[in-house]
Amino acid sequence: MRYDEELDRWYVELDGRNYGLHCGECFEIYIGAQPIPCRIEMDSHWYLIIEDISFDLRRSSTYLVNV
């Protein structure tokens, strides 16, 4: 999962195509080798909800996810 500055949106690449993520979409993010279920949301910035706890996303980072 990467951030697109122009679109102000996080996206994933599947089969050579980019798919923008939308508020409320659920997927798994990897913390080390462990997949953790989460949901992406947008307020004044994008963040993840994991078990009712919110985590800010770093725009300069790339995240391994399973959609």
**How many structural domains is the chain composed of?**
1
Q: What pLDDT score was predicted for residue 8? A: 94
pLDDT tens digits along 8-40? 999 999 999 999 999 999 999 999 999 999 999
**Whether 12 contacts 4, CB under 8 Å:** no
Is 23 exposed, middle or buried, given 0-12, 13-18 or 19+ CB atoms closer than 10 A? Answer: exposed
Domain span at residue 38 reads 2-66
Residue 30 maps to which CATH number? Answer: 2.40.10.390
User: What percent of the chain shows pLDDT beyond 90?
Assistant: 99
pLDDT (average), residues 48-64: 96
